[in-house]
Chain A
């Protein structure tokens, strides 16, 4: 998260401040601060900080840096509790930097982070989604890492809603167009449909990178006399107001497309050569500080590097000659240059001795590199335009000392009613006969949230870089870091807005638990957490209550699981008019492998392997896919959270992988056991014969979404050892059946051939969005 709370550096004369605040109202007539998204109070505070009326350029800078998107002014007090999540020896860089960094052994460090690009992707799906990938990739690069892969959790309105036909194809093409051209494998993510996202699709993007521990970079501008170098694309008028006008306000009905000029335009080729040139700069030790240009563009990069430099305790400050910035349009004014969110740019701090080598290296890659300023000891950020001072500010006042709000919170008035509407058998009719269960299964596996995602993921390159061990539709994306030792990582992202609507505290924990379960099912040990918190307007007390609950739930869950939160992102104002989206915390979990060769895939591949269900099943249908698909029902309580059991399950899954006992493992989540069995059968091209306990409620067994469960396939030679593993650790397990044949056969109920399953599972998205080949 940006806005690392460092020591305040701003000083102002209280007397002058009072006098100036009094005249703020008069200045308001002349300065368009409200149009820039600033409140009267915030404007008064700027005047007080500067001791005078801000220049146009300064006003533009404060408006973007104090926007919700950059300042986290509404979320900060809630996010602080993530700092109390468990630290580990692995944690090299925690919250507050561009991305968290964890040591993974062999002298390597992994950095990962998830961000949102929701509003731009609604306004302009292709470019919004493309630049979302570009932005998170630069965050990872800024830490000194080579970007390795991306994952994209996506949420849309109903699959057959007219606007989904506009947003989904454009967003998927934008992610693929940018990521494929950048040479980053896309290894996971989600695609979720719910009418709550109809006017507010959620486009989150996670990037992971790796570097030698010794190459971790800082953003601090230090060393008086060092050069400030802008690398990459020329600066244009695209994306002005992206963070303030677009990301920090609610959409009015139909108001989206009018804001298209605020969406940035991506150029992945420029990003690719920018990445390669920056990695070479890092390897040669040519930069003392580096910062990406993302939201709020030069304003953010200049103020954050200067403020971070001063925060080191060394003399700091910066002089910038803004007219040196290469422009796409010569007529741009200083406020426009400072606010532009043109993509594919980085800011480097370079010693005078290194400058010629830096410029030559950039030239070799075809990257534009321009010295635009110098590190000073003034304690201030001074920006000139053809010699005239247009900005003279204490940088900490922009970067760190923005407003902080403790917004009012109120439990949603309708929550008790929604919670009381439980999906009991008396309320929602349930299938009982074998034929009804068969129909229910086929309907669910073809439903938009449970059907095959191949239409989406086949548009993403999953092979490039030759280190992808597992990718979607597997439980987790798995990457090899070292070809010599097999050291590797796993990543999964999960979120469930319906669960969070019913209980945001539990919803955040359920998302965390599911992401951990996915990583463990692949065989990796979870080691760190990132989050993307997608919510409605913080000015709505009911939304703010949901946010506070979700933050508390996530922090509590991480403490219970012993995992650090290393960073993340907040996206507010995901609402249309007065209607917010379901609270949607999306959680990313990083897992570690000593050797990726022992990864566990989801597909059933061994005829005769025993199928074992780990965990326990209860009658839990609140917020379930079954309730939604068959009854459009959302009510009751989400499935119970049991993090101790989740931890135990994860340990058994990892131990089973380590001992080579498992031929397949797949977690249970949306859609329950039936969905898991179908996915594993289709993935491995083999059927299964299932025998549930006599007297069991087949409907509950097949479709309940109880947590802390997984199905594993165990070759016969390993069955005794695996049973012992579960029993000694105290994890409940039951034998489900056996792998083999070409049907999914549930004894005493029904059988479905693999071909029929495949047709149902794979036909939905092509029917909705067209054939791709």
Chain B
């Protein structure tokens, strides 16, 4: 438990990019996301759902978990938090945002991403190491991958079935906004095997798999998730 949230309290501004990780009541993979941010070479910054100040971070991760218990509908309450309102506004100005699992659900509820995540078609929570294909490397969070890369990242969710109207699915395809697809078996019944999508600006990405659990071979399923966190840093540094 040594390198946890205690190290996420900001600190003096340096050349190191700073990536915020939001904690909602019921967030679970927030420390884990912070560790992944650090493993990628950035400084994790803890953000609290009740605050509306981004503390000057360069990018934001909405972590996995069950915000507010997700008893109503996953992400349905978290979207109303002051921090999410701030993030919605900042995203319009180009702030890179990554929503992982519950974070993806929050981004859909908040309208930053199209579609919705519903109950898995098998009606069970599923935790497994999932094969995925990278469908686009031109987003803020996937530029360190190559299009067509096959990677393995764990999934663990009960409500990850991506659904959207035919129009939206067509638009996503036409604009190359499907970021990841499930391969080797669709674990949840998602439309056209979609595991991840991005917004039109390509800076906001939501995904059901947990890249923060694939950054360290000892405690995760390999290291295929690390490029997701280094991608945003490359972008930030190249923009300087």
Contact = CB atoms under 8 A, between A and B. Distances in A.
B25 interface: yes
Contacts of B41: none
**Which among B28, B32, B126 has the highest number of chain A CB atoms within 10 Å?**
B28
Interface string B15-58: 00000000001101101100100000000000000100000000
B156 A268 contact: no
A596 B217 CA distance: 12
A155 interface: no
B28 A466 contact: no
Contact of A273 (B26, B70, B210, B218): B26
B124 A483 contact: no
A269 B32 contact: no
B181 interface: no
Contacts of A182: 28
A15 interface: no
A458 B126 contact: yes
A466 B120 contact: no
Contacts of A466: 29, 31-32, 35, 212-213, 216, 219-220
**Which among B2, B25, B188, B218 has the highest number of chain A CB atoms within 10 Å?**
B218
Contacts of A467: 1, 219
Interface in B111-129: 120-122, 124-128
Interface string B142-168: 000000000000101010000000000
Interface string A18-45: 0000000000000000000000000000
Contact of B26 (A210, A272, A462): A272
A630 B127 CA distance: 33
Contact of A773 (B69, B126, B219): B126
A469 B187 CA distance: 24
A468 B219 CA distance: 5
Interface in B157-187: 158, 185-187
A623 to B, nearest CB: 33
A750 interface: no
Interface residues of A, number: 41
A89 interface: no
B28 A464 contact: yes
Nearest to A460: B127
Contacts of B71: 269
- The range of chain B's interface size is 35 or more
B192 interface: no
A428 interface: no
B154 A463 contact: yes
Contact of B210 (A146, A183, A463, A469): A463
A543 B128 CA distance: 42
Contact of B218 (A180, A267, A480): A480
Contacts of A180: 66, 125, 156, 158
A596 B218 CA distance: 8
Contact of A269 (B26, B124, B187, B221): B26
A181 B219 contact: no
Nearest to B33: A466
A173 interface: yes
Contacts of B127: 457-463
Interface string A174-187: 00110011110000
A311 B208 CA distance: 53
A182 to B, nearest CB: 8
A268 B122 contact: no
A465 B30 CA distance: 9
Contacts of B220: 463, 466
Contacts of B126: 458-459, 772-773
A773 B213 CA distance: 21
Contacts of B185: 773
B219 A480 contact: yes
A629 to B, nearest CB: 27
A146 B6 CA distance: 14
B156 A464 contact: yes
A269 B69 contact: yes
Contacts of B121: 773
B75 interface: no
A456 B24 CA distance: 29
A173 B158 CA distance: 11
Contacts of B188: 773
B9 to A, nearest CB: 14
A207 interface: no
A405 interface: no
Contact of B32 (A465, A482, A773): A465
Contacts of A385: none
A353 interface: no
B65 A772 contact: no
Interface in A483-503: 483-484
A771 interface: yes
Given A180-B156, A181-B66, A480-B219, A272 B25 contact: yes
Interface in A438-470: 457-469
B120 A464 contact: no
A481 interface: yes
A483 B213 contact: no
Interface in A92-145: none
Nearest to B187: A773
A210 B2 CA distance: 11
Contacts of B158: 180
A177 B125 contact: yes
Interface in B1-16: 1-3
Contacts of B219: 463, 466-469, 480
B1 A210 contact: yes
Contacts of A267: 69
Nearest to A181: B66
A181 B69 contact: yes
A177 B159 CA distance: 12
B26 A773 contact: no
A366 interface: yes
Contact of A458 (B1, B31, B64, B128): B128
A597 interface: yes
Nearest to B35: A466
A464 B3 CA distance: 15
Nearest to B128: A458
Given A272-B26, A462-B127, 15 more contacts: A176-B125, A177-B125, A181-B26, A181-B70, A268-B66, A366-B25, A458-B127, A459-B127, A461-B156, A463-B220, A465-B32, A466-B212, A466-B219, A772-B124, A773-B122
Closest 6 CB pairs of A and B: A269-B69, A183-B28, A772-B124, A466-B32, A463-B213, A773-B122
28 contacts: A146-B1, A173-B124, A177-B125, A180-B66, A180-B158, A181-B66, A181-B70, A267-B69, A268-B66, A269-B26, A458-B126, A459-B124, A459-B127, A461-B156, A463-B221, A464-B29, A466-B35, A466-B212, A466-B219, A467-B1, A467-B219, A468-B219, A480-B218, A483-B2, A483-B35, A773-B121, A773-B186, A773-B188
